[in-house]
Chains A and B, each alone.
Chain A
């Protein structure tokens, strides 16, 4: 079964707006990663945040991690139509770093 839940399940915004997606997980983790998937294709790695980090940036992406609440958020600033995709969070578990457990995903639609 999936560990993570993502919220919202779907999000529609206009180009230029910011998009925020949230992820919750259930067990202690070492790392949390965010991925993007376009139309049932492969997953593109976006960013990894370690359990001892609270915030990380990469270009237009900002990820936060709150281990006390077992939650993370992904913020995409100044969205573009090309950002239209599904976004997944994935966690390992503290005792097993080899296996990723994925959230349910957020479907983002950015309208030009």
Chain B
């Protein structure tokens, strides 16, 4: 089976812009989670979707949002970008208790 894929792999934006990241889970996996990784805060949970419904949300401002489509693909959107949003954004799909991660999208905000 193909692994979790994320696009784009790298992105450069400026403050105030918005960005959309995409994640395709492993075939058959219906749960998709998003995580942010920064040197200062480490890996932090953003949100989790299952069958197009957000089931869990981490402690991030409302500028961070997401959605899931009927084919389980998920998108994450960040509006009004701030410098501190520069991070590696990781998507994971879940099977049972195991979560499998994609390669990440490296977002740089200038």
Contact = CB atoms under 8 A, between A and B. Distances in A.
B100 A105 contact: no
Contact of B98 (A48, A99, A101): A48
B94 to A, nearest CB: 8
A100 B99 contact: yes
Contact of A40 (B4, B94, B106): B106
Given A42-B102, A99-B56, A104 B42 contact: yes
A28 interface: no
**Chain A interface mostly helix, strand, loop or mixed?**
strand
Nearest to B49: A98
A102 B100 CA distance: 14
Contacts of A96: 56
B42 A45 contact: no
A100 B33 CA distance: 9
Contacts of B90: 42-43
21 contacts: A2-B41, A30-B97, A31-B97, A33-B97, A35-B101, A40-B37, A42-B6, A42-B102, A42-B103, A43-B92, A45-B98, A45-B100, A48-B97, A96-B56, A99-B56, A100-B35, A100-B92, A102-B42, A102-B43, A103-B42, A104-B42
